[in-house]
Amino acid sequence: MSDLRARLNRLKAKPPAAMPPTRGNLIAELRSQMDRVMRAEAQKRRVEAAPYDGPGIDALVPGAFHKGEDAEFFVARVKYPPDYYHGNRRLDSIFEKQHELFGELTKDPALAEMTPGQTVFIDTETTGLSGGTGTYAFLIGIGYFEDENFVVEQFLMRNASEEPDMLAMLSERLVQFRTLVSFNGKSFDLPLMESRLILCRLTPEVLMRPHLDLLYPARRIWKRSLESCRLGNLEQELLGIERVDDVPGELIPGIYFDFLRRGDPTRMERVFYHNQLDILSMVTLTALITDVISDRAASCRSDGMAQYSVGRIHLEQGRVAEAEAAFTEALKACPYSDQEWEILRHLSVTYKRSGNYAMAVKTWEEMIGLDARRDLFPWIELAKYYEHRVRDYRRAAALAVQAMEIPFLSPFETEAIEYRLQRLRRKGEGVASLSDAADDGDG
């Protein structure tokens, strides 16, 4: 009996088995944890949102507040002397260049009349990269020459109520200039500014003037030789600029939102600096591009594939001698490379256009020696030469037949070769059949 009582007492003392948590209990626990996290974040924001009583933006960045019709906004203003070096170039070196070349590069005749004194350089810092109506250009920087100095003005919007007055003053500045210069502005900066002007009930016509977007001529020259044609990479590789204490562009929207939330402008000083550097680099990049195209000495200091690109630009504009010089330098810089064949192709065109057929023939034969089955071009050019210049129809036919052996010819290419052979058969009594021409060998 006593043993049974002892066993019953042990059972009473044993805690009941833990029941598995129900779905409701789990949800309640999760809500409790989320509530604790949110209270901690709210407390953190209250601490961060303590009123800022330090120096204002005008104490950190040279400039002044301007009173508009409805709001007051800040405009920074910095002057650079004309002999100021930004990287490896002086700002005033832009006045020594042939800016009509930009009309050719961009195929916009209006840019052929570009002059530095009537040009404004423009760059924006924005709240995002989407470019929609919810994206603001909170900082718009412009640069221009005034009384020989280069002036950079930067218009800051601290809240949406300041935007109409800020854009109105900016429009008054822009209307004084004939040409706009940007970097990737066609795709981003100017479309965004146009939408903001319209939303503020201001006319966007101030932007409707000749516009040079430097990204496109930079790509035409350096896309084959540089990994990237971003402005920062062009600065490092070509302009001799290594940015120090600059803020990466992707961090700028966050810095601005932090400024709006806390009122502390300390980190905004670096955003103004970043924007200034972009504008200064546009000036020296403009000078560099004109140097590379118009000055043979400057062009010869470029790498081989940039030389090749410059040669193509000259050839496109009919400057055969300049194109030949550029391709020749490119060939020296790129021997035994994958690009050699293409350089030879364009070099042969310059020889042909200048009437130097001896060098043209030598170049076509060199191309065949490098890669006989790569393309029809050298075979057909040689066939044309022997048909029209030498009137050796058998040799021309032999070359055309060998061209037929190139793989993956299109129906159009095959038909063109067959038509050429038929014409040669009619012209030359000795060309009786395709087999006769083939038997002639390499000729």
| Stated pTM of the model | 0.81
pLDDT higher than threshold 70 for residue 229: yes
Q: Residue 442: which pLDDT band, with cuts at 50, 70 and 90?
A: very low
pLDDT higher than threshold 70 for residue 55: yes
| Cβ-contact 176, 206 below 8 angstroms | no
Mean pLDDT value of segment 155-167: 96
Q: How far apart are CA 162 and CA 74, in angstroms?
A: 9
Mean pLDDT value of segment 31-59: 69
Give pLDDT, residue 11: 54
Mean pLDDT value of segment 288-295: 88
Angle at 195 between CA 189 and CA 196, to 5 degrees: 85
* Fold category of 57-293 in CATH: Nucleotidyltransferase; domain 5 (3.30.420)
In the three-class reduction of DSSP (H, G, I as helix; E, B as strand; rest coil), residue 313 is classed as: helix
Give pLDDT, residue 6: 66
Q: What are phi and psi of 104, to 5 degrees?
A: -70, -45
Q: Residue 14: which pLDDT band, with cuts at 50, 70 and 90?
A: low
Mean pLDDT value of segment 340-345: 95
**DSSP label of 119:** E
Least confident of 286-290, 294-298, 405-409: 294-298
Q: Residue 434: which pLDDT band, with cuts at 50, 70 and 90?
A: very low
The residues spanned by each domain of the chain are 57-293, 302-439
Give pLDDT, residue 132: 65
pLDDT higher than threshold 90 for residue 1: no
Give pLDDT, residue 443: 42
Give pLDDT, residue 128: 85
Q: Residue 435: which pLDDT band, with cuts at 50, 70 and 90?
A: very low
| Cβ-contact 276, 78 below 8 angstroms | yes
Least confident of 147-156, 235-244, 432-441: 432-441
pLDDT higher than threshold 50 for residue 291: yes
Q: Which helix (H) or strand (E) holds 124?
A: strand 119-126
Summarised one tens digit per residue, pLDDT across range 386-398 is: 999 999 999 999 9
Counting residues of the chain whose pLDDT is more than 70, the rounded percentage is 83
| Cβ-contact 288, 183 below 8 angstroms | no
Q: Residue 335: which pLDDT band, with cuts at 50, 70 and 90?
A: confident
Summarised one tens digit per residue, pLDDT across range 58-88 is: 999 999 999 999 999 999 999 999 999 999 9
**DSSP label of 303:** -
Class of domain 302-439 (CATH, top level): mainly alpha
Mean pLDDT value of segment 153-159: 96
| Cβ-contact 145, 121 below 8 angstroms | no
Summarised one tens digit per residue, pLDDT across range 201-214 is: 999 999 999 999 99
Mean pLDDT value of segment 310-323: 94
Give pLDDT, residue 16: 53
SS (H, E, C) 333-390: HCCCCCCHHHHHHHHHHHHHHCCCHHHHHHHHHHHHHHCCCCCCHHHHHHHHHHHHHC
pLDDT higher than threshold 80 for residue 377: yes
| Cβ-contact 180, 204 below 8 angstroms | no
Q: Residue 114: which pLDDT band, with cuts at 50, 70 and 90?
A: very high
